[in-house]
Amino acid sequence: MDGGSPDKIVGVEEEASTTPIPEKVQVGNSPVYRIERKLGKGGFGQVYVGRRESGGSGRIGPDAVEVALKFEHRNSKSCNYGPPYEWQVYNSLNGCYGIPWVHYRGLQGDFYILVMDMLGPSLWDVWNTLGQSMSSNMAACIAVEAISILEKLHLKGFVHGDVKPENFLLGQRGSADEKKLYLIDLGLASRWKDAHSGQHVDYDQRPDVFRGTVRYASVHAHLGRIGSRRDDLESLAYTLIFLIKGRLPWQGYQGDSKSFLVCKKKMSTSPELMCCFCPAPFKQFLEVVTNMKFDEEPNYAKLISIFESLIEPCTALRPIRIDGALKVVVTSFPQ
């Protein structure tokens, strides 16, 4: 779901067809859902709210009254060989910490459809609501919880490939999970670890291939290097700096050479300049993740501990829950 960033995902096609979305959906053994409204557009497909025609209880789970329905046209590039690639990723990750549940899936008419838990606003939405600025305490809570979510994702052998404010969502407003952080949109996820051998994938570089979002992509992604764990963390660093400062030094470039110019600016901007007006932990985090080797295993606990001094000591006052971070590292965070 896209919260409205002006940066377009490069290497991802537009919607494959103008075929209208059906008024009702039933896939697999799901209930019948009536389409209510559009939530947004992700890197792959479109997302709508679906409401059960009858029955149902609760706000999440397979019996929820409202769900998120992700549609992908069967003629889209990622469906050349059947169901979308994203389905394979969800098969491997369903139940992974911080990843929304997929309850049903199937083909209806011209669309492959995922039935997922409804979530709340994205960090992009929250940032806009807060006047396009975010406190260091809130950004630090986001940092430690996002690192924890990425650790669980990486442990499953995947990298996300498109970490940005629009792809982090909170739980539904007014629910028990409204302060819980989730990571969505797995269309650009890839394996950093071979599923059969368990070994790290080999290094490769294709300068003509770029996958991700220009504003937040790692320098390695710009250079066409195959994705690894360091890239998700570098994108997270840019995300955090953006949320605090409201702008990154490379915003504003346009035209065919935009990606090249952004990459050049990222490479030439020092951490000191990039993180001016940010508390020191954000600069420290940026320096660590931008100096990681291709196959280096991140020290997630150490990365989380970088932000310890910025975390609100009173659990009830934290704007974002940090349940996952508390399980990764034993710190002085009050629990």
For 100, half-sphere exposure in the C-beta direction (CA atoms, 13 angstrom radius) is: 33
Give alpha helix (H) positions in the chain.
85-93, 123-129, 136-155, 219-222, 229-245, 258-268, 271-274, 280-289, 300-305, 323-328
Read off the DSSP letter of residue 261.
H
Q: What is the CA radius of gyration of the chain?
A: 20
Sign of the dihedral through C-alpha 55, 57, 63, 68: positive
Residues 6+ apart with CB under 8 A from 240: 139, 142, 143, 282, 285
CA angle centred on 38, ends 35 and 41, rounded to 5°: 130
In the structure, how many helices (H) and strands (E) does the chain have? 10, 12
CA angle centred on 289, ends 288 and 295, rounded to 5°: 115
Q: What is the chain's percent helix, strand, coil content, to nearest 5?
A: 30, 20, 50
- Residue 70 among known ligand-binding residues: yes
- Residues noted as catalytic: 162
Cα separation, 138 vs 312, in Å, equals 9
Q: What would the two tokens of residue 279 be?
A: 């508390």
Cα separation, 76 vs 20, in Å, equals 15
- Candidates 109, 76, 148, 107; CA nearest to 311 is 148
Strands 46-52 and 66-73, bridge-based pairing: antiparallel
Question: Is-contact 15 75, C-beta < 8 A?
Answer: no
Annotated binding residues, written as ranges, equal 70
Annotated binding residues for ATP, written as ranges, equal 70
